[in-house]
Amino acid sequence: MTRTLTAALAATTMLTGAAMAQDTMIIGITQNNVGVDSYQTTYEQAFIAAAEANDAVETVVLDAGGDVARQIAQMEDLIQQQVDAIIIWPTNGEAVIPAVRKASQADIPVIVTNSNIAEQGQDFIASFSGPDNITQGQRAAEIMCDKFKADGIETEAKIVQISGQPGYTTAIERAQGFEERLPEVCPDVELMETQPGDWNREKSQQVMEAFLTKYDDIDGVYAGDDNMGVGALNAAKAAGRAGDITFVGATNFAVGYDAMAAGEYWGSIYQSPVDDAEAALQTAIDVLNGEDVPKLNYFDTPKITQDNMQEFDKPVF
């Protein structure tokens, strides 16, 4: 009895689903943690705007609030609602793999956005769309090193790192890229210590205050994003030591851009959440249209420093 009912339900939903699929495609997205910072919020707004601009697309927009269990539940919900494609911004690059596999078993293509999932899950996704965070870390190391060379202190400089929220793929990859690349380009620069700033400006400011007390000589700070970089800058300014320190961040925020314009902040990586969101949506649409999509669909995130910042618009977030 129950079985026939479910079967009947399934049949009708499949019928309507098929009928709908001809004119609109339904794309579900489960994001990491909207509202935690401007990047994620702007991403969501850009995503919704892009979807509204496209008549062929309808979206189900969900937010996992940073909780991996909630994200897996949302994946299951999207599968159950039989959306045509799922975009996921993973809270944890490995924990979501089984849920991604489940979607792929249900023949729903999965597009990972912003921060990739681990190697084992690559078979189950249609594509990854987002920045290359390891490259970003590497580029930040290059920016830092170039600046030290220009200042002529590349043989003696001492730096500290303020990393993102512990455990998040983006934070891990950026730190990894930075720590791998730095000795290659500037072997004599010493990375004295790394502490997490949790993507949080205030936390980062506190960490920097402690660094300033602990180390008399700090020549550079690498922060996992500009939000934290500006926090560190604030701490250094309060201690009157901002002038001696080269600040390099990532994900250029408006505050970072302003600080750069003021000559207080050296450089960052230009990464637009609007590009990020639009690229993810476009990738999903391409996949649904049966186009050939590369597995790793990076959008470019160039270096931005005081020297070339006039080439970039001020970020909107």
Partner 1 sequence: MSQSTPQPIASPVEADTPPRKSRSALFVQGAIWGFVVLELIFFSVAGRFLSVSDTAFLDLDNMLLLLKQSAPIGIIALGMTIIMINGNIDLSVGATFALSAIVLLDSMTWPFMAAMGDWAIPLAWLFALGTGVVLGAINGLIVWKTGVDAFIVTLGSMLGYRGLVFMYNGEQPTSHLNWTLVDFAEAQFLGLHTATWFLLGTVLVLWLVMTRTVHGRNAYAIGNNREAAVNAGIRVGPHFLINFMLIGFLAALSAVVFYSESGSVNPNDGMLYELWAITAVVLGGTKLSGGYGSIISTLGGVIAIQLLRKGLGYIGADTETVNLVIGLILIAVLFLDRQLNRKGSEELKI
Partner 2 sequence: MTALTKAGIGGLLARQGILVAFVVFMIVFAIANPRFIDIDNVSGVIRSSAILGVMALGVTFVVIGGNLDLSVGSMMSFSTIVVLDLHDTLGPTLAIPAMFALTLCLGAFIGFLVGYLRLNSLIVTLGMLSAIHGLTLMWSGGQNMDIADKWGTWFGFFGRGSIAGVPVPILMFALAAVVLSLVLSKTPFGRKVYAVGGNGTAATFSGVPRARVVFMTYIISAACVATAGLMQASRSLGSQNTVGQGMELEVLAAVILGGASLLGGSGTIFKTVIGVLILGFIQNGLLLIGLEFYVQYVVTWVIIILAVWLDVAAKRSRLWSPIA
Residues of this chain that bind partner 2 (CB under 8 A): 34-38, 40-42, 44-45, 193, 195-196, 199-202, 205-207, 209-210, 212-214, 227, 230-231, 234, 237-239, 253-255, 258, 262, 317
Q: Output the CA–CA distances (angstroms, integers) from residue 91 to 31, 78, 169, 185, 253, in the order listed.
A: 8, 16, 8, 32, 21
Listed residue (262, 241, 275) closest to 309, CA to CA: 262
Stretch of residues binding partner 1 (CB under 8 A), selected from 92-100, 127-135, 147-155, 306-314: 92-100
| Binding-site size, partner 1 (CB under 8 A) | 53
The item of partner 1, partner 2, none sharing an interface with residue 77, based on CB under 5 to 8 Å by kind, is partner 1
> Residue 26's CB: how many other CB atoms inside 10 A?
18
Q: Which is nearer to partner 2, 110 or 160 (CB)?
A: 160
Q: Does 289 bind partner 1 (CB under 8 A)?
A: no
Q: Does 268 bind partner 1 (CB under 8 A)?
A: no
Q: Which of 11, 13, 52, 106 binds partner 1 (CB under 8 A)?
A: 13
Sequence-ordered list of residues with C-beta below 8 angstroms from that of 80, at least 6 positions apart, any chain: none
Sites for partner 1 among residues 17-46 (CB under 8 A):
17, 20, 26, 34-35
Instruction: Kindly state the smallest distance separating residue 60's Cβ from partner 2, in Å.
Output: 18
Sites for partner 1 among residues 190-249 (CB under 8 A):
196
Q: Going by DSSP bridges, is the β-strand pair 246-248/296-298 parallel, antiparallel, or unpaired?
A: unpaired
Instruction: Kindly state the smallest distance separating residue 63's Cβ from partner 1, in Å.
Output: 5
Q: Does 6 bind partner 1 (CB under 8 A)?
A: yes
Q: Does 56 bind partner 1 (CB under 8 A)?
A: no
Stretch of residues binding partner 1 (CB under 8 A), selected from 164-172, 208-216, 265-273, 291-299: 164-172
Instruction: Kindly state the smallest distance separating residue 148's Cβ from partner 1, in Å.
Output: 27
The item of partner 2, partner 1, none sharing an interface with residue 213, based on CB under 5 to 8 Å by kind, is partner 2
Instruction: Kindly state the smallest distance separating residue 34's Cβ from partner 2, in Å.
Output: 6
Alpha-carbon torsion angle 151, 155, 159, 165, nearest 10 = 100
Listed residue (26, 39, 67, 56) closest to 167, CA to CA: 67
Q: Which is nearer to partner 1, 171 or 245 (CB)?
A: 171
Applying CB under 8 A, which residues contact partner 1? Answer: 2, 5-6, 9, 13, 16-17, 20, 26, 34-35, 58-63, 65-70, 72-74, 76-77, 80-83, 91-99, 101-102, 118, 120, 163, 165-168, 171-172, 196
